[in-house]
Structure 1
């Protein structure tokens, strides 16, 4: 098997308990090593600030009532914030953008003299929606911005400075904040940014698997509240010795086609995905026992293969749905339907051909390009790959597999519940900054018992298709994202704005008690 990898940067992460013990000494050491401070006055000032943050404790002496309450909501005393300040590669010029240390002062001066025109919903009109974005001008995202906002396109070919009138940053790069310093080079008061520092960990299959494994311990004895390996297929991180050995022993003992083998990070379009057939198993056994004994120093996972997938006309399919964290402080999470994505060829359990069991568009395009089709035939084949949830429910009801309202009462409930738990289990990795948000694409599958299985999460999911009908849907999604974020920024009626979209609540941190969870958690499961 080909094992090509890109280098990755693994963020430094600590739990809240570790913060109290280690953060002062770590930052102090960073300062000394990197010679951040040029004189003793500055050094003493920073030392004093660190000591205050180290010894200041939450005055609430009561026992936290929920997992959310255990997370320190003061983002400037979190490990994620300190990591950004001292470990990110800020340069004077990044991506041909001049990082100005006085940029936020320019923003404040501009806002003090500029009146913003608001509509009846108290949202800024399109003439005052200044969006800085690196999405290319041919993308649906940029085309939508051009209609409903005033996009400021990032031209990487020439050096530039950021315009102080920008009120929203919408970047493809999920690590843009590691090149440009938050609250200094961008993301000043009156601005919002579409990536949450730390969210990259949700995109890594090994990190997600280990989060599920750790979360299982959190619910030990309360499995009826949430059982991770009933929400996502059992997964082994092959960079962990015990898990790697477990995988090798399993495939040595003949349990081979029960597994999928995947690259854990920076993998797209079916890259380095394989069903563990006999040939693949023999190669892996040789690799992990002889060439590179466990653990794997590269990033791969092994995941149990769902061997009884629900089929549509004999073809395998999955669901692309969307999770939208509209705010981290207070935490607010929304869900939205996506589409079903169907394979081009009928499913064969013993097949290792991608077109039989993978649903992504890149695989479909490669396959159709290899056969002799007219342009119209190609478009029809691609169009047949996607259907909406209503059409799917209609098919299922006609086949008498589900009752009325099954999508809303059962399927959506299960998906939203998994989303909620995924955010909860990763709260310690996400920066609780009040002006950041993130839009995720999540993939789920159904087995023939109608159990919903989470497969993977995507940052900056592809928005746009070759279908004009679906492009209209995606343009509406983009418009809704902007309306929601501008509603938060300009303190409009957020609930009224959300009610006019197809988004649904998962979690609302503005509320108290069980009302926050919208029926997804009971008191015994907090």
Structure 2
């Protein structure tokens, strides 16, 4: 019979071992964000930029180390682009189900001081409501989304930059801050600031509006000016003669969703809501705070009688020095679902995002007209004359100028202290029926690259293949962009658009007086949600 003292001895040993293991696990957890970041922010220069915090012992980035393996992780493993990366020679790693991550102990949106480190279990894949846990062996992180929120709306994912993923030396297909222009309202604010910067150096001629005229309803002066526009229109038109001159857009939505025509009824709604008491422009309804009122292009160029826009793919290889490529031959047009009628209140005659075409015959029709810029020129050959001349003197220069201004206007937002970060976009334009005027509509980060017309899939495959080629190059060069000439010589789709390593960074598109770089932060402007947590820490710690 085992003595009681022996049992007590072994139980004590087991308890002591358990306590030691538990203490060890606790001690290896990262410290709280405030403790971690206090004094550990690199470069707290309010006039330059934000940067990553230093990882603490026990965090993912403190344990991660680069290897020569071409291994990557994706938040959407089943997405076409992820499969394309895998087929290009990179090994896909499964998502970690359990691990240490930041969670929120507070339900107040944006209260990043309430974030705390904890063990999380059963993390789900392919959802925009859960934190992801990147495998430790991943040398490339290739995500579709990068703002992951908890049930209370706290942005948890981007608070972990440089700590829990996107470590120094780890490749990541997003540049924190470089997607700020993907929000329509932010984009307009950057352009207003950009225009003022040119005015301050006496170069007003360098910039003209590259989007249709826009009002931000959240800004009182814009709200009051829009009310004046409505008042003039109401004096001139009645319900039957009312023209569609303005549309509303939700700043956060894409693909045509959230767009409304400012018809007679909606115009009177706005005027009744705000026009009766102009002071109400200083307290806009919550549902209108992210709304843009934009001039409607009522004389669009038409393909088969239908309105269309066209997409251009753009690749930001590096933030500082800024290096950007564009793919003139790999974009496509999108036609409206119905024949255009400028007097119609039918939404589908005005929107070019394929939001309605569920009819199989209609879808087949739309697939036929997926034109790149050269094919657009060929279609309008009778109107524009020589296609090569039109491309070289009108279309290409104007599209490139718009893209360059888009990047320059928001360049102050870029988190520029790291190499190995890159991002590609789908940027949408519209052209009017003079075939000489082009307008920027919106930009989309990490766009869908599964082509609607399977016969043209090779064009968007080339986009992803170039992104993979760049990741291969960065693996070879330890994450550094050593030669832009060598990189672009490897690409099949992208050509140089901006290259700040070159003597002429804009390759002849901008004259020298217009080439002054505006990189100093204007902290009165909104910033990309991806760097909000970092700004919070800089402001408070």
TM-score class, shorter-chain normalisation, is 0.7 to 0.9
Answer whether contact 1:396 1:402 (CA < 8 A) is retained: no
Answer whether contact 1:215 1:425 (CA < 8 A) is retained: yes
| 1:78-477 matched pairs, under 5 angstroms | 78=49, 80-81=50-51, 101-108=58-65, 111=66, 116=68, 128-137=69-78, 139-148=79-88, 149-154=90-95, 158-159=122-123, 162-175=134-147, 178-179=156-157, 181-220=160-199, 221-227=202-208, 229=209, 231-254=210-233, 257-264=244-251, 266-289=252-275, 293-295=280-282, 296=284, 297=286, 298-337=289-328, 338-361=331-354, 363=355, 366-369=356-359, 375=360, 377-401=361-385, 403-432=387-416, 433-449=418-434, 450-477=436-463
Q: SS state of the match for residue 229, structure 2?
A: helix
Answer whether contact 1:232 1:454 (CA < 8 A) is retained: yes
Provide the rounded CA distance (Å) in 2 between the counterparts of 1:379 and 1:346: 14
Answer whether contact 2:378 2:387 (CA < 8 A) is retained: no
Provide the rounded CA distance (Å) in 2 between the counterparts of 1:53 and 1:395: 52
Q: SS state of the match for residue 219, structure 1?
A: helix
Provide the rounded CA distance (Å) in 2 between the counterparts of 1:313 and 1:378: 13
Q: SS state of the match for residue 34, structure 2?
A: coil
Q: Quick one: structure 1 residues 470 and 178, their matched pair in 2 at CA, closer, same or farther if it must change by over 3 Å? A: farther
Greater Rg, structure 1 or structure 2?
2
Q: Quick one: structure 1 residues 496 and 434, their matched pair in 2 at CA, closer, same or farther if it must change by over 3 Å? A: closer
Q: For residue 106 of structure 1, report the CA deviation from its aligned partner.
A: 3.2
Provide the rounded CA distance (Å) in 2 between the counterparts of 1:240 and 1:158: 44
Q: Quick one: structure 1 residues 168 and 37, their matched pair in 2 at CA, closer, same or farther if it must change by over 3 Å? A: closer
Answer whether contact 1:174 1:200 (CA < 8 A) is retained: no
Q: For residue 324 of structure 1, report the CA deviation from its aligned partner.
A: 1.2
Q: For residue 288 of structure 1, report the CA deviation from its aligned partner.
A: 2.4
Provide the rounded CA distance (Å) in 1 between the counterparts of 2:338 and 2:86: 38
Q: For residue 451 of structure 1, report the CA deviation from its aligned partner.
A: 0.7
Query: 1:424-461 deviations in whole A, cap 9, x for unaligned?
Result: 11122121132321111111111122211111111221
Q: What corresponds to 2:514 in structure 1?
A: 525
Q: Quick one: structure 1 residues 495 and 232, their matched pair in 2 at CA, closer, same or farther if it must change by over 3 Å? A: same
Q: For residue 401 of structure 1, report the CA deviation from its aligned partner.
A: 4.5
Answer whether contact 2:53 2:162 (CA < 8 A) is retained: no
Answer whether contact 1:174 1:460 (CA < 8 A) is retained: no
Q: Quick one: structure 1 residues 102 and 447, their matched pair in 2 at CA, closer, same or farther if it must change by over 3 Å? A: same
Query: Does 2:488 align with 1:498?
Result: yes
Q: What stretches of structure 2 of length at least 5 have no aligned partner?
A: 1-31, 98-120, 124-131, 149-154, 235-242, 516-541
Q: Quick one: structure 1 residues 493 and 508, their matched pair in 2 at CA, closer, same or farther if it must change by over 3 Å? A: closer
Answer whether contact 1:326 1:485 (CA < 8 A) is retained: no
Q: Quick one: structure 1 residues 355 and 153, their matched pair in 2 at CA, closer, same or farther if it must change by over 3 Å? A: farther
Q: Runs of at least 4 residues of structure 1 off by over 4 A?
A: 400-403
Q: Quick one: structure 1 residues 154 and 381, their matched pair in 2 at CA, closer, same or farther if it must change by over 3 Å? A: farther
Answer whether contact 1:103 1:185 (CA < 8 A) is retained: yes
Q: For residue 490 of structure 1, report the CA deviation from its aligned partner.
A: 2.2
Query: 1:356-391 deviations in whole A, cap 9, x for unaligned?
Result: 121113x1xx3334xxxxx5x355223124223332
Answer whether contact 2:470 2:487 (CA < 8 A) is retained: yes
Q: SS state of the match for residue 145, structure 2?
A: coil
RMSD: 3.1
Provide the rounded CA distance (Å) in 1 between the counterparts of 2:465 and 2:263: 45
Provide the rounded CA distance (Å) in 1 between the counterparts of 2:476 and 2:428: 33
Q: For residue 301 of structure 1, report the CA deviation from its aligned partner.
A: 1.0
Q: For residue 193 of structure 1, report the CA deviation from its aligned partner.
A: 1.0
Provide the rounded CA distance (Å) in 2 between the counterparts of 1:494 and 1:521: 20
Answer whether contact 2:94 2:135 (CA < 8 A) is retained: no
Q: For residue 410 of structure 1, report the CA deviation from its aligned partner.
A: 2.2
Q: For residue 346 of structure 1, report the CA deviation from its aligned partner.
A: 1.7
Answer whether contact 1:274 1:352 (CA < 8 A) is retained: no
Answer whether contact 1:101 1:185 (CA < 8 A) is retained: no
Q: What stretches of structure 1 of length at least 5 have no aligned partner?
A: 1-33, 58-70, 73-77, 91-98, 117-127, 370-374
Answer whether contact 2:299 2:433 (CA < 8 A) is retained: yes
Q: Quick one: structure 1 residues 100 and 163, their matched pair in 2 at CA, closer, same or farther if it must change by over 3 Å? A: farther
- TM-score, with structure 1 as normaliser: 0.73
Answer whether contact 1:413 1:520 (CA < 8 A) is retained: yes
Provide the rounded CA distance (Å) in 2 between the counterparts of 1:305 and 1:35: 46
